[in-house]
Structure 1
């Protein structure tokens, strides 16, 4: 009895390796910013959802402070409050602050980076003027993040 692989098995393995190398290797060799941007996008979505859930759960105002490349979260020390004055801890207990040069945050109403989003205890999200805010965050060639101020939904 002979041991070994048949020609069909060898060709099948070579075809599978060819497909993997044609798809995976270019993605791995491309700039790492795509993976970093995708990770940062998910981090921003998680942070905004955390801010909204924290505001409702703690019945306090939570603020998401933006620059064009950073996001930080703070919470009001008491309720009612007009401003956030305490750092909001992330789920792992550390202060939430994240940044990536590949992110651009723009408010759809103004076209500018928002100074802050205010997550109200009732679940709504407002801008500096107290009007429910609709915000789109664009991240380097990836899908946008949309924040609906009326419903508090982060997509």
Structure 2
């Protein structure tokens, strides 16, 4: 008599049922876009804050960043020169495409308060401030020395 090896139909069906249950419960957790959108917006704002600090260092002009529930924007904190083409106070910083450096909060990420920081020509920030994104999932603080602290 030849001994056959393999799985019974009952074993195969049980494996398929278990895989079905696991996929129904686990896969939606991996593909929830809300978490990804919140993280993306947080990283976008963080990048803009770092850019504002670097621009202030490179240009010698004070740069202000404001982050609120509508989005973020980079402006000049004071006049940068006396000529008519020099940036004036509250003018938007130009982005590489030629428009104003700003971003909308299109994902409607919850922000605990309005965040405003001005970087001077040495990269120092005034006033030091902090903000929380997505009900505290991401926290960002800018210290008076210019150190940008991120906690998650």
TM superposition score normalised by structure 1: 0.64
Does structure 2 retain, via aligned residues, the 8 Å contact 1:71–1:99?
yes
Give the 3-state SS of the residue equivalent to 2:138 in structure 1: coil
Which residue of the other structure, out of 101, 105, 110, is the alignment partner of 1:103? 110
* Distance change >3 Å, CA 65–CA 151, structure 1 → 2: closer
Q: Which residue of 2 aligns with 1:110?
A: none
- Residue 148 (1) aligns with residue 149 (2): no
Does structure 1 retain, via aligned residues, the 8 Å contact 2:69–2:109?
no
Does structure 2 retain, via aligned residues, the 8 Å contact 1:105–1:136?
no
TM superposition score normalised by structure 2: 0.65
Q: How many residues were matched structurally? A: 125
User: Shift in Å at residue 24 of structure 1?
Assistant: 4.4
* Distance change >3 Å, CA 117–CA 70, structure 1 → 2: same
Q: Which residue of 1 aligns with 2:125?
A: 125
Please say which structure displays the higher CA radius of gyration.
2
User: Shift in Å at residue 79 of structure 1?
Assistant: 5.1
Q: Which residue of 2 aligns with 1:62?
A: 63
Question: Structure 1 stretches of 5 or more lacking a match?
Answer: 1-6, 8-13, 107-112, 128-132
Which residue of the other structure, out of 78, 81, 100, is the alignment partner of 2:80? 78
Rounded to whole Å, the distance in 1 between the matches of 2:149 and 2:121 is 16
Question: Structure 2 stretches of 5 or more lacking a match?
Answer: 1-6, 8-14, 83-87
Rounded to whole Å, the distance in 2 between the matches of 1:95 and 1:23 is 42
Does structure 2 retain, via aligned residues, the 8 Å contact 1:69–1:104?
no
Superposition misfits of 4+ residues, deviation over 6 angstroms: none
